Amino acid sequence: MTTPLICLVIIAVMPYIYAGIGAYYRSQLPGGIDNKHPRQQISQLQGFGARAYAAQQNAWEALAVFIVAILVAHLRHAPETQTSLFAGLFVVARIFHGFFYIKNLDLLRSLAFAAGLVCVISILWVSW
């Protein structure tokens, strides 16, 4: 089950990438990054910075669901070809989701979210 586990690592790294993008925008605020009150400072972000933070939060949420799906597939000895396909498609959907989130393309973001959800459901389906 190598490919799904690689996909899991990629999905686990994505929130940190969005955090880095958000940190850039936090550094642009007066006084730079406020590490003593980061949540208060995050609430001051607007535009790209605020959406990068929202994408980060959504990436954490998606990670939890994806972990469950991959764990179930692994424990149930799901067909690796199908699991790998859906895991790879999930990664692609989540990359597009984050991009669309930051760019404020709400309809495309929702479609990417739905595509990722279908992938997770498909992984669970082939694990049945």
pLDDT digits (tens, 9 = 90+) for 54-73: 999 999 999 999 999 999 99
CB 66 within 8 A of CB 13: no
The 10s digit of each residue's pLDDT in 5-31 is 999 999 999 999 999 999 999 999 999
pLDDT for residue 110: 98
List of residues 6+ apart from 57 with CB closer than 8 A: none
Q: Label residue 95 by pLDDT band (50, 70, 90).
A: very high
Is the pLDDT confidence value at 1 over 80? no
CB 105 within 8 A of CB 122: no
